Structure 1
């Protein structure tokens, strides 16, 4: 009897180890993509890309099978100052009327030390696509309020906006843009997928 229980336990453990990676939906209410830059040496303004839409596939046992696919609607851009928000959305910068979305699609995910990951992907802004590397920290993997699988990540990177055709006022306004991302994502429950 003891052998049967041990065998059943081993089979169960093997099943968990070989579980398929989960697909998570980003929570736009708990996701912030913050851009910051230097303005004439005097200040370091920020802007948040809100209304983020996307999914991530995360497999803790096989990190290289993970992936990220995100859309950043420029209608959700908020620089906390209405006039600056409008200017950033204008043709001087993002030209949101012509190119309403920025996107990021991963091409490689690598495991780092501890809870660290390195995510390489294609960032598209104004119809220009360039490779970007995100330094990612897994904050927590657990369960949401309704028991659904949930994960949270932070990520950082630095890009040069001129490479994406957003070059107005360089060098007085810095070319380098620091991006800081924090996000929560959950596996949708069955009733959510029917909506």
Structure 2
């Protein structure tokens, strides 16, 4: 009986060691393999596009259990870059991002739903301009695998739309802003 119990315990332990667990990834900002872009309607005449040059983050991901995944992204709003220095200065001002008063923005996932075909619904809390609101990011897993430097990577793309009036902007005439996240992480 004692041998049977030891054998069963060994089988359970061996089986448990093969259960996939979420791997932790660091967003690859050093290699510039991640981007946070934005697009806003400019007075109804055209599109203003840009990006945030400074951000950091990490995520956990398990292809066999995407619902257990988590993501945290920290954004430096002062790094806004619309390819126009004077406009960027205005975007950093109290009229828009007010970076002196609100030097950080953040996204923290609260729920991830696997929609099949590498599509994910990522729900979370987004803090911008000192206000935190729930948002939904429509995401897709681009791929994962070994890289040429003996590492392992996973990459995702996602989009969401926010209304700046929800974040107490002084100049809320901008209306909706589309965000595009291209995130590639290196397994830790």
1:111 to 109, 114, 134: 114
* Deviations 1:58-114 (CA, angstroms, capped at 9, x unpaired): 011111110000100123211111111111111110100111111000000110121
User: TM-score under structure 1 normalisation?
Assistant: 0.84
Q: 2:89 aligns with which of 86, 104, 107?
A: 86
Deviation at 1:34, TM superposition (A): 1.0
Match in the other structure for 1:186: 186
| DSSP 3-state at the match of 1:130 | strand
CA distance in 1, matches of 2:37, 2:52: 7
1:175 aligns with 2:178: no
Residues in 2 aligned to 1:17 and 1:45: alpha-carbon distance in whole angstroms: 49
Work out the CA distance in 1 between the residues paired with 2:112 and 2:135: 12
Shift of 1:17: 5.0
Give the number of the structure whose residues are more often strand, by fraction.
Answer: 2
For residues 75 and 166 of structure 2, what CA distance do their matches in structure 1 show?
A: 18
TM-score (norm 2): 0.87
Structure 1: gaps of 5 or more residues:
1-9, 189-195
Q: Rate the CA distance shift 1:122–1:169 in 2: closer, same or farther, 3 A.
A: closer
Q: How far is 1:14 from its partner? A: 5.0
Matched, 1:143 2:146: yes
State the aligned residue count: 175
Extract unaligned runs of 5+ from structure 2. Answer: 1-10
CA positional deviation for 1:41? 1.6
Q: Deviations over 1:22-79 (max 9, x none)?
A: 0100012111111111111211011201222000010111111100001001232111
Q: Secondary structure at the match of 1:45?
A: strand
